[in-house]
Amino acid sequence: MPAHAPLPAPEQRALTLPDSEATEQLAQKLATLILADAVPQTTAAGHGRPARPVAHIHLQGDLGAGKTCFARALLRACGVQGRIKSPSYALLESYKISSLYLHHLDFYRFSNSDEWLDAGFDELLLEPALVLIEWPERAAGRLPPPDLLIGLDYATDPDPAAGRIARLTAYTMRGRTWLTHL
């Protein structure tokens, strides 16, 4: 079964993240798995371009739950240097590391599900890239299932010192593989 093939049923796992360092470590582990899996596969036509984007990862959670912290740690672990800006206002920040493209999107400011289409972001989903989306629920089901959905919630209350719970849901074989190694 291809790595991007959907699973018959999503697989889930919950992890306790006691502090921001644990959140960053989870992102670093995932980055290692993504980079190991990012070897280009040839398309059906035999070209050297991957047949599907390297990875789709969605991040959900309340404001301040750690989505951007996780995204920055993941991008940094993938090799992004310098300032990593939040895409909350620009909606998209893109990076290129060697031959790997990384797109970090934030749909928080969208008021309806058509806005991401109007912005042309649907084209990004076809590129051979790591696509990381915060607030994917603002696209109201118009996005294809991610390889991995990471839901970040406060462990007990909205006190940053209480830590977080990360609920990871794999929707593809690739996501399942990552899930078993995290």
Q: How many domains does the chain have?
A: 1
Residues with Cβ within 8 Å of 169's Cβ and at least 6 positions away in sequence, in order, are 10, 11, 12, 148, 149, 150, 151, 175
1 lies in a domain? no
177 lies in a domain? no
- The predicted-structure confidence for 24-79, as pLDDT tens digits, reads as follows 999 999 999 998 877 555 444 445 554 445 789 999 998 888 888 999 999 999 99
4 lies in a domain? no
pLDDT of 136 > 60? The answer is yes
181 lies in a domain? no
Cα separation, 105 vs 41, in Å, equals 25
- Higher-pLDDT residue of 112, 14: 14
- Look at residue 43 in the predicted model and tell me its pLDDT: 45
Banded pLDDT at 117 (limits 50, 70, 90): confident
pLDDT of 159 > 70? The answer is no
CATH code assigned at 14: 3.40.50.300
Expressed as residue numbers, the domain containing 79 is 10-38+50-171
| Nearest CA among 3, 9, 21 for reference residue 161 | 21
- The predicted-structure confidence for 76-90, as pLDDT tens digits, reads as follows 999 998 888 777 766
- The predicted-structure confidence for 160-173, as pLDDT tens digits, reads as follows 667 889 999 999 99
Q: Alpha helices, DSSP H only, in 53-132?
A: 67-77, 115-118
Q: What does the pLDDT average to over 113-117?
A: 76
